[in-house]
Amino acid sequence: MEIADIIGFDLCGYPSSPQQILPVSAEYVYQLDNGLTLVGEPSAAFQSAAFSLLVPAGCRYDQPAHAGLAGLTCEMMLRGAGDRDGRKLITDLENLGVERGESVGVSQASYGGSTISKSLLPALTIYADIVRRPQLPGDQLEAGRAVCLQELRGVEDEPGQKLMTELRRRYYPDPWGRSSHGTAEAIESLAIADVERFHAARYGPNGAILGVAGKFDWQQVCDSVEQLFGDWPIQPSDDSVEEVEGRTDSHLSYESNQSHIGIAFASIPYRHPRYFEAWSAVGVLSGGMSSRLFSEVREKRGLCYTVYATLHTQRDRAAVFCYAGTTAERAQETLDVTFRELVRLGEGVSDDELARLKARIKSSLIMQQESTSARAGSLARDWYHLGRVRPVEEVAAKIDALTAASINAFLAENPPQSFTAMTLGRQPLEFPDAVS
């Protein structure tokens, strides 16, 4: 699973049954015997409730010849489950007012929804069927395949997205840099038997995480989750990974009047004790109209129409990915100026820059606390990355404790360096010596 979200709640431990659950701050945790973890944050302040279910069924488990199978499986699982065909499945969710979303990442498949409080348990009942008892109708395979191919073509037709997808593939060793969209050749070759095998092998409770937030009764949710998922059989699985170095090309030819630039360098993952220093440094670099990249590359020089940097973190690895989109005529200058700003970040940040960043962070914290879907996702992601959930108070305290001196000490020890870059456009660009 990949995150930029830093909001969560703390966890000191979990008991062995719902009746023995000990609340920590405002959240609760219940571990099913089969390995599924329920993490909750009930609050009467909301009228809605939301859930986020993470299952270890990401595209890292695709065989090279089956690139895109995890995504196709996710698509096919929504075409009927339990005793509902595809039409009734969607109709019942809509009748419950569920705003839903599904996605496949490198390590996990994610299923989430938000609705009014009284519809939470009926929605969870439907999703238990989706992940446990999908119909996987063979007569709809071609329709599912067409959806996956359309999504893949959408990436291919969006040059900025295509570039950053390929940059991640080059920067990380396989399978960690994979795109869940796969390849057209592989998707065209997949049969319904491949989908059935993937579901049987990867969709189980071991390692699954269910986050629930909003207005709900904790004991009632525990009882329902036990009933819905308690007899979900554990799937034997092999999580071993054979890493393969990524691509080596640095330019993708693309007929366009635009040029697209991507640069990556190493950082630290969310679970690292100095993550907040790393994250804040990137926030000074990018994230608002007063950030360095926006100010120096776009506003002062007018070099590009889009420029940003983001800290991309997986469980055990992380990197900063920077993107700039510009005209072919100004591409080399854009690359040079952007690169200089990345290097200059290693010289440190100022107190004024940090003050502006903290104001943006606190605003974001407040807004995310007002969204049950954001809270549910944060609970599940925190548990996945940390094995606990950070309280908002802990996050706020870490942010308040940040100083320019602490960030600069981190940057002095971990300056942006060993850059990896790719470009997409008519002509390749000349990279600085520090870029591979």
- Residue-by-residue pLDDT tens, the chain, 436 positions: 233 333 322 222 222 333 333 333 445 899 999 999 999 999 999 999 999 999 999 999 999 999 999 999 999 999 999 999 999 999 999 999 999 999 999 999 999 999 999 999 999 999 999 999 999 999 999 999 999 999 999 998 999 999 999 999 999 999 999 999 999 999 999 999 999 999 999 999 999 999 999 999 999 999 999 999 999 999 887 777 778 887 777 999 998 899 999 999 999 999 999 999 999 999 999 977 889 999 999 988 998 989 999 999 999 999 999 999 999 999 999 999 999 999 999 999 999 999 989 888 877 776 667 789 999 999 999 999 999 998 878 888 888 999 999 999 999 999 999 999 999 999 999 998 767 6
Q: What is the CATH number of domain 251-425?
A: 3.30.830.10
Q: What is the pLDDT of residue 4?
A: 37
Report which DSSP code applies to 207. T
- What gap in Å lies between CA 129 and CA 229, rounded to an integer? 10
Report which DSSP code applies to 105. -
Encoded tokens for 232:
């979900």
Q: What is the pLDDT of residue 288?
A: 79
- What gap in Å lies between CA 203 and CA 20, rounded to an integer? 28
Question: What phi, psi does 285 have (nearest 5°)?
Answer: -70, -40
Nearest to residue 355, comparing CAs of 301, 280, 420?
280
Fold equal for 18-229 and 251-425: yes
- What gap in Å lies between CA 114 and CA 256, rounded to an integer? 41
Strand order in the sheet with 420-425: 251-253, 420-425, 258-266, 318-327, 304-313
Strand order in the sheet with 37-42: 28-31, 37-42, 209-214, 48-55, 109-116, 99-104
Alpha helices in 210-345, H assignment, sequence order: 218-229, 275-285, 292, 331-345
Find the Cα–Cα–Cα–Cα dihedral 23, 224, 95, 148, rounded to 10°.
90
Q: What is the pLDDT of residue 434?
A: 67
Encoded tokens for 10:
């703390």
The gap between the terminal CA atoms of the chain, to the nearest Å, is 27
Question: What phi, psi does 413 have (nearest 5°)?
Answer: -85, -25
**Full-model pTM:** 0.90
Contacts of range 288-297, beta carbons closer than 8 Å, 24 or more positions apart: 288/356, 288/357, 288/360, 290/353, 290/356, 292/341, 292/344, 292/345, 292/353, 293/322, 293/324, 293/338, 293/341, 296/337, 296/341, 297/324, 297/334, 297/337, 297/338, 297/341
Sign (positive or negative) of CA dihedral 178, 182, 185, 187:
positive
Encoded tokens for 395:
């996050």
Q: What is the pLDDT of residue 222?
A: 97
Q: Does domain 18-229 have CATH number 3.90.1150.10?
A: no
- What gap in Å lies between CA 107 and CA 241, rounded to an integer? 11
Residue 319's contacts (CB-CB under 8 Å, 6 or more residues apart) are 171, 172, 264, 265, 266, 267, 311, 312
Sign (positive or negative) of CA dihedral 201, 204, 207, 209:
positive
- What gap in Å lies between CA 291 and CA 207, rounded to an integer? 38
Find the Cα–Cα–Cα–Cα dihedral 65, 67, 70, 71, rounded to 10°.
-140
Sign (positive or negative) of CA dihedral 163, 54, 80, 90:
negative
CA distances from 131 to 76, 126, 191, 213, 310 (A): 11, 9, 20, 20, 32
Q: Do strands 251-253 and 48-55 pair parallel, antiparallel, or not at all (unpaired)?
A: unpaired
Question: What phi, psi does 379 have (nearest 5°)?
Answer: -60, -50
Do 27 and 40 meet the contact criterion of CB atoms below 8 Å apart?
yes
The residue ranges of every structural domain in the chain are 18-229, 251-425
